[in-house]
Amino acid sequence: MDPVFGNIGTNKGLNRLSLRGRDKVQGQWRMFCLVQNIEKLMNCGAIH
């Protein structure tokens, strides 16, 4: 399993999408990925 999916699913507990419909699910998934990327930038020091 890719570390990103493992982190989102296991560590954050986001293993289910709470919305219905393709557009809403895509938006929710993009939000999860956005949070993942922001945390990655914070941890590497790109964001202070």
pLDDT tens figures, 1-37: 467 777 777 777 777 778 899 999 899 889 888 988 8
pLDDT for the residue 13: 74
pLDDT for the residue 48: 65
Question: Does the pTM exceed 0.85?
Answer: no
The three-class DSSP label of residue 1 is coil
Ramachandran sector of residue 13 (left: φ over 0; alpha: ψ -120 to 50; beta: rest): left
Name the nearest CA neighbour of 5 among 38, 44, 42, 36. 36
